[in-house]
Amino acid sequence: MRIKSKKTHRNLFLFSYIILFFITLSGNELQAADGEPDPETEGATEFIFHHIADSYDWHFFTIGHTHVTLPLPLILYSEDRGLEVFMSSSFLDEDHNYVPYKGYALEDDGSHLVSLEGRTFYDFSLTKNIAAMILSVIVMLLIFPAAASRYKKAPNSAPKGVQAFIEPVVIFIRDEVAIPAIGKHKYQRFMPYLLTVFFFILVNNLLGLLPGAANVTGNISITLTLALITFLITQFSGNKYYWQHIFNTPGVPWWLLPIMIPVEIIGMFTKPFSLMVRLFANITAGHIIILSIIGLVFIFESIAVGPVSVIFASVMNFLELLVAFLQAFVFTLLSAIYFGGAVEEHHHEEGKALEGEGNLAPLQSDSAMV
């Protein structure tokens, strides 16, 4: 037991040292080497929002005056110039300051592109969030085809490696999310989307916790797109009973329909809105809290604050690991509930739905049968 305890303490010390190392790297952006505020960030607030915002280059960390940055391609189209492609490093001078290039300029620490000549242009650039999404897709393309090929080669063998991690998750989404919410006879056609959105959110949440990573699921435009896809699938999957519930709610007097119909229509749009805001707010808040705790070391400029910040940042990192899984699960669960409501069959007069559909009465029996 003593050997195991020493090993545990050594691992905790190593983990804390790694966290402190990345805190030191991040702190170099709050202060220059001479102790003066860095004009790029102009304080802790700018430092935090720069790291959670999208940008045209992928900045990892700074050591002294050395910036470790991955330049990304800018793809622009305008009527007078046509298609223009150049790297974001074209806007940086020798001192890593942003300068104009070809009539364009990067503002707000590289997060906004403007035309100095008032030119109207279309921006198809590969930003940090897009690059991070491509990275997450590559990770999934490396993992899932490998697991699927093993199922084809040895369908009756016990899962190994990554397959042993993926299989319980897939079964959990099927048995505890899709079947109870949608019904055992109609869940199959929604499973590809539910699994895709779950692992997409999960992988990007986990990658976003790495130092210098992009804040993909903390970008409201990305969560809006995911919520919009759920909304469209729900509406196009809706049967006649779904639309009857919206425009002619059963059991409601006719004189209340002018009130109920607008309420139901508004409810159609508040559901994807809640999906969008919930994922965006939870992930963004976690990143802001962790970066704020890290920033305390350099705001107070005290060695005594360092260990406290390391402890709290470590605790928040572990909490964010839980949030990464939880938010992927919540988004998938709510999407499945919306799909279930769209394909739910007509109820009998006694209030029971047809057997096997996605409503509350048969859900427990469906789960028990699987």
Kind and range of the H or E element at 74?
strand 73-78
Q: What pLDDT digit, counting tens, does each position of 157-175 carry?
A: 777 777 888 889 999 999 9
What pLDDT is attached to residue 23? 40
What pLDDT is attached to residue 43? 59
Angle at 349 between CA 344 and CA 350, to 5 degrees: 95
Where residue 87 falls (left for φ over 0; alpha for ψ -120 to 50; beta otherwise) is beta
Number of helices (H) and strands (E) in the chain: give both, helices first.
Answer: 11, 7
- The residue among 33 and 330 whose pLDDT is bigger is 330
The candidate with the shortest Cα–Cα distance to 226, out of 265, 249, 194, is: 194
What pLDDT is attached to residue 257? 83
R_g of the chain, CA atoms, integer Å: 25
Q: Where are the domains of the chain?
A: 2-125, 129-369
Per-residue confidence at 103, pLDDT binned at 50, 70, 90? confident
Per-residue confidence at 44, pLDDT binned at 50, 70, 90? low
Q: What pLDDT digit, counting tens, does each position of 225-259 carry?
A: 999 999 999 999 988 888 888 888 777 888 888 88
Q: What pLDDT digit, counting tens, does each position of 46-101 carry?
A: 777 777 888 888 877 777 667 777 888 999 998 888 999 988 888 888 777 788 88
